A and B are shown apart, each in its own frame.
Chain A
Amino acid sequence: MILSAAQFLLGQLSLVALGAGAAFHPSVRSLGFAARAAAAAGAGAVALTLEATLFSIAGIPWTIPGLALPLLLLSIFCASRWLRRPAPARAPIRLSRGIAVGSATVCALSLSYLALSFTSSSATSVDFLFFWGVKAVRFAEVRGFDAGLLRNPFFIHAVPDYPPLVPVVEAWGCLAAGKMPWRAVPAASALWAAAAVPLLFERFRRRLGDGAAAGLAAFWTAALSVSLAHSYSGGNAEAPLLFFESTGLAWLLTEEDPRESRFFPSLVLCGAALAKVEGFVAVVLLAAGSLLKERGPLAVRARRSLALVAWPGVCVGLWFSYQASRSLAVGYRPHGQLFGLFPQHLGRILPAVLQNLNAGSLWLPWLFAILWLAARLPAWRDAAPALVLSVGLLAFLVFDYMHDTGDPTERIGWTAPRVTQPALSAAVLAAAATSSRRKRKVEPAVTASKAVA
């Protein structure tokens, strides 16, 4: 068991190598080593999923060398091209000892708590055992998507239309381990939470300063680690979704120049759209928020916002192409008719959702974020992508629950603690974005290194 668990975890860590090229993009190269490794892991997961989907469409069986070699070659090619382009220098981190030790301690304790919750089986997602892991082990067994399984009428509980990132990434781990180490896989979910932390810290340094960015990273880590454990998110798609959405959002919130490359947010938003159905909803909300945040001609803002949606749209389109190629039902299965709503349930839905926003920590992260936002309300536009994501996602969930013919309270109890986590993350990041102290300046943007000098 220990050997297969170690092999599985090594397989997950190898995503860094599969997406290493992304760490050399000029916009990513100015980040620290840990943040670049995290960016590479995200890129690796996205690239592996797209490649695995293409292989399944073409009927090419998945093997470790067959999947890894093209991605490694692509990474080398991208790295060699991007290394020729200049990148802003990274400013050295300057933190007071007290803040550094305090933030690092909170992060370490929070992530340790999350990892122990997952390894001890106290936060395992039953959905992992009912379908995420089932798909992974079956896909690894047949070396590709199993169309027969996906069209089996006795497999509809496994929502066969869900996008494929998590089953692919877990199947990759199964190929590396030779079997599914069921008890160890939930622990890998903690890696996604841990990977988000250096990216959030590095991006918010430019907006908050090093000390407050470290404090924000500690707060985010504590709030979301506790929430992931509380919501039984071990082994399911919540942790990767949170990684993709939060890091993409952090990037958009901390842009300093309207011409800044959106390579990284586009990449991770592809990951969000490939992780869960509501991931694409989040992409659309983030793009709308970006439109509100940016200044300048509407046409330019609209083009940049639409570009955020375009690549995730292509990725989801590829998944739908696989469905079409195997005569499966194409698209996502709706929860009833779009406007076939039962507004009479609203009186039950709203209190139930509110109750399940406690995030395992007595609503404290929400209260903290809301109080901070209330104090900085005039600066709301700086945080528009986060505010639109947070409010929009909660509204979308309420809209979804209103489709239930019966009392949705029980379903809210199962799902809301999990699916509201990106809204919580966005609320925390919104508070951070409005709390920054920025000097207005009329000159063109400068690189991070010049700004610090």
Chain B
Amino acid sequence: MSEPVRETKGGGAALRAWIWNLGAVAVLVAGLHCSRLPTLASAFRVPATPLDLTSGQAGRLWAFLMEARDAVPRGASYTVEAQDRDDEMTLYMLSLGILFEQEALPSSYFGVATPDSGDRARFVLVYGAARPRLAQARLVRAVGSGAIYERWAA
């Protein structure tokens, strides 16, 4: 059995307390030195997206989806398209949380085209330039980084 020893000053206990504290200061200083926060001011800025300072490109994809989400009615199916397959996959994954009241049908999944799925979607959220086959679709809304189209519009 053991009994705890509680000391508040003098001897080894105080020395250990200071060693831990000095170690903590060293770690914190090293952490601040290596920090990804670009400036102190940036730490206090309210970000426009959850990814502003994590990934600029992913932040732009997020912003596009936030602009596009109101253009797709609740319950409607949609797909996402982008020139870059990685962007397309990222858009699809992000859209599942943003357009959670709609039905997502990916045009590709991990870089593999899934036309059986994506071609069934009524709305197409295009990041960047639209593909020619959307020429017949109705432009619902143009946003800064892309556009939303509706297929088979009456």
A residues sitting closer than 8 Å to B (CB atoms) are: 91, 94-96, 99, 102-103, 106, 109-110, 113, 116-117, 119-124, 126, 128-131, 133-134, 137-138, 141, 154-155, 157-158, 180, 182-183, 185-186, 205-212, 214-216, 218-219, 221-223, 225-226, 229-230, 232, 235, 256-257, 360-362, 364-365, 368, 432, 435-446, 448, 451-452
Q: Considering the chains assembled together, what is the distance between the CA atoms of A113 and B34 in angstroms?
A: 12
Q: How far is the CB of A269 from chain B (nearest CB, A)?
A: 24
Question: B45 near A257 (CB under 8 angstroms)?
Answer: no
Known: A106-B21, A121-B47, A154-B106. A232 touches B54 (CB 8 A): yes
Contacts of A131 in B (CB 8 A): 93
Task: Please indicate which of the listed interface residues B20, B46, B47, B53 has the most CB atoms of chain A within 10 Å of its own CB.
Answer: B20
- The residue from A116, A122, A157 contacting B93, defined by CB atoms under 8 A apart: A157
Question: B36 near A230 (CB under 8 angstroms)?
Answer: yes
Query: Closest residue to A118 on the B side, CB-wise?
Result: B50
Per-residue A-contact encoding for B40-75, CB less than 8 Å = 1, 0 else: 001111110111111100110010000000000000
Contacts of A102 in B (CB 8 A): 18, 21
Query: Closest residue to A205 on the B side, CB-wise?
Result: B6
Q: How far is the CB of B101 from chain A (nearest CB, A)?
A: 7
Q: How far is the CB of A10 from chain B (nearest CB, A)?
A: 19
Query: Closest residue to B36 on the A side, CB-wise?
Result: A122
Question: A215 near B51 (CB under 8 angstroms)?
Answer: no
B153 CB–A CB distance under 8 Å: no
Q: How far is the CB of A31 from chain B (nearest CB, A)?
A: 14
Known: A208-B16, A211-B8, A211-B17. A120 touches B1 (CB 8 A): no
Tell me the B6-36 residues at the A interface (CB within 8 Å). Answer: 6-9, 12-14, 16-21, 23-28, 30-36
Question: B27 near A438 (CB under 8 angstroms)?
Answer: no
Contacts of A443 in B (CB 8 A): 1
Query: Closest residue to B47 on the A side, CB-wise?
Result: A121
Q: Is the interface of A mostly helix, strand, loop or mixed?
A: helix
Question: A218 near B51 (CB under 8 angstroms)?
Answer: no
B5 CB–A CB distance under 8 Å: yes
Known: A215-B16, A222-B28. A137 touches B100 (CB 8 A): yes
Question: A130 near B54 (CB under 8 angstroms)?
Answer: no
Question: B37 near A122 (CB under 8 angstroms)?
Answer: yes
Contacts of B7 in A (CB 8 A): 209-211
Given contacts A110-B24, A235-B50, A448-B4, 15 further A-B contacts (CB under 8 A): A110-B28, A122-B36, A129-B62, A138-B97, A141-B100, A154-B92, A206-B4, A206-B6, A214-B21, A218-B20, A219-B23, A362-B34, A368-B23, A368-B26, A441-B2
